[in-house]
Amino acid sequence: MIHRILCRALAAATCLAPTTMAVAQADALPQSPMSADIVVYGCTSGGVVAAIEARRLGRSVLLVCREDYLGGMSTNGLGWSDTGNHRAIGGLSLDFYRKVKRHYDDAAVWVHAPRPARAENFVDGDAMWQFEPKVGERIYEDWAREAGVTIVRNQPLDRSKRGVEMAGGKITAFHSKSGQRFEGKVFIDATYEGDLMAGAGVRFTVGREANATYGETLNGVQLENTTNHQFTLDVDPYRVPGDPRSGLVPRVSAERPAPDGTADTKIQAYTYRMCLTDVPANRVPFAKPTAYDASQYTLLKRYMHAGHRNFFQKFDRIPNGKTDTNNFGAFSFDNIGMNYRYPEGSDAERAAIAREHTTYQQGLLWFMANDPGVPAETRAEMSKWGLCKDEFVKTAHWPREMYVREARRMVSDFVMAEPHLRGTRPMPRPIGMGSYNMDSHNVQRIVDARGFVRNEGNIEVSPGRAYPISYDAIVPRKGEAANLLVPVALSASHIAYGSIRMEPVFMILGQSAATAASIAIDEGVPVQDVDYARLRARLLADGQILELAR
């Protein structure tokens, strides 16, 4: 059923915002090859910080962007930062949040809403953890310019076999789809998808490992443990209630889940993180998408008729009367089960999946504000909200980037897993820290043994501490890509990655990757053989946090 929905949706041109990866001439892009000591592919938060750190270390650097903007999800709606333990955030990552606070210390920037009376909701010491997307983007742009980073925009990787050049176990260059060649001594893949890593032939995995693989308890299928973002009321899944022969309503899979703890290749749900506002002067009403299909929300309508009302729980406030609106509950902004092909899909497949997600989410907003089957009080509340006039102005105020929570993950000689996060196994060679919950969003929506709808895959379990992240998790196996570092699609199990995959941590790891790249160039060694003592000393000198007293 879900597969058929996706196939129909992919055929329709539905989104208000462009989702294809444009190939355009960048800032004075020459026809000849471009080269630098360190080439960073991917302009996520981790990629931007890696490039800035490379310049601070005196290295020439190219920051090659798939898109025309910087910051990844930090500038596309994820303004309510998932920080975990603030004390575990150091280095340039902490500097970013200090820059956020300095921006909002200026009373003149509070134009749509007053500064909150309870500043502790936003501020911790000299850092501030919530911000508007356009503010995050401005900070990254200014910061990179001041550092002297050369940015090359709109240059998505040629993902064909000829896209990445290898010689002697090293990357010598990669090509963008426009034909531009980028040469470097060391490369950093800072994409969420691990595209450069895959092009270099580095081993990776997609999906969930079995619990037995790494001695875990929260990996693989997790139906019994999926208690949050779960249906709290019985909802019938059939087109004709009570009649399985009538078929399933949209957004429910007929597949039976495997036993708990077993592996699969499914992916936790993606979404667009919505920057919404209820300030009339800055509000753009929700538009009805071209391919709107009210039947896609039948399940939600039945859930509301059964008594569900808690739709607005995760409209988290950020400055100036805006929100970072996240998924909440059993049927919300997460597009469960519609992204399985994304990690290894072609550019065309990925763009189609992004369009389907856009249609689903725009349709959901329209449905909640307009459908007569939605309770009147819910429609009235939803109608107070809209997109923000002053955000994403080039894409009809819709976020430019879908939240790819997890895609490929490298499989290196060392794989971070649940026992490392909990502290029951030692962590070699730390380069930063994480602390957030082991967090997986739902993976599939199925019919349970009683004949009602149930979600599967959501896990939110604290590791119980701030934990170190190993250098060995961001370098490929020995013998694979001796000059590549992977600080975003790093080597971790599905459930361990669920904690690591936070924007502050990606910035931490981006800085550490750039430091290691510089040392590898100095020493003339593969990244796998960087002198850890030297790396550690430099990281500590630069304010990175490598351990915390419990």
Question: In this predicted model, what pLDDT tens digit does every residue of 402-417 receive, in sequence order?
Answer: 999 999 999 999 999 9
Please check whether residue 40 is in contact with residue 51, taking contact to mean a CB–CB distance below 8 angstroms: yes
CA 210 – CA 208 distance, rounded (Å): 7
Position 10 scores a pLDDT of 40
pLDDT, averaged across the chain = 94
Helix (H, G, I), strand (E, B) or coil at 93: helix
Please check whether residue 303 is in contact with residue 235, taking contact to mean a CB–CB distance below 8 angstroms: yes
Question: In this predicted model, what pLDDT tens digit does every residue of 334-372 receive, in sequence order?
Answer: 999 999 999 999 999 999 999 999 999 999 999 999 999
Question: Cα-atom radius of gyration of the chain, to the nearest Å?
Answer: 23
Backbone dihedral angles phi then psi of residue 445, each to the nearest 5 degrees? -125, 120
Position 123 scores a pLDDT of 80
CA 545 – CA 461 distance, rounded (Å): 23
Give the chain's residues under pLDDT 50: 1, 3-28
Please check whether residue 129 is in contact with residue 136, taking contact to mean a CB–CB distance below 8 angstroms: no
Question: What CA–CA distances, in Å, run from 398 to 172, 191, 271, 355?
Answer: 37, 21, 12, 12
Question: In this predicted model, what pLDDT tens digit does every residue of 407-453 receive, in sequence order?
Answer: 999 999 999 999 999 999 999 999 999 999 999 999 999 999 999 99
Displacement of CA 261 from its chain's centroid (Å): 24
61-64 and 34-41: which strand pairing?
parallel
- Tell me the torsion sign for CA atoms 439, 441, 445, 450: positive
Position 124 scores a pLDDT of 79
Position 24 scores a pLDDT of 32
CA 491 – CA 411 distance, rounded (Å): 5
Q: What does DSSP assign to residue 471?
A: G
Please check whether residue 175 is in contact with residue 156, taking contact to mean a CB–CB distance below 8 angstroms: no
Displacement of CA 258 from its chain's centroid (Å): 27
Position 359 scores a pLDDT of 98
Position 118 scores a pLDDT of 66
150-152 and 181-189: which strand pairing?
unpaired
Q: Determine how many CB atoms are found less than 10 A away from the CB of residue 146.
A: 10
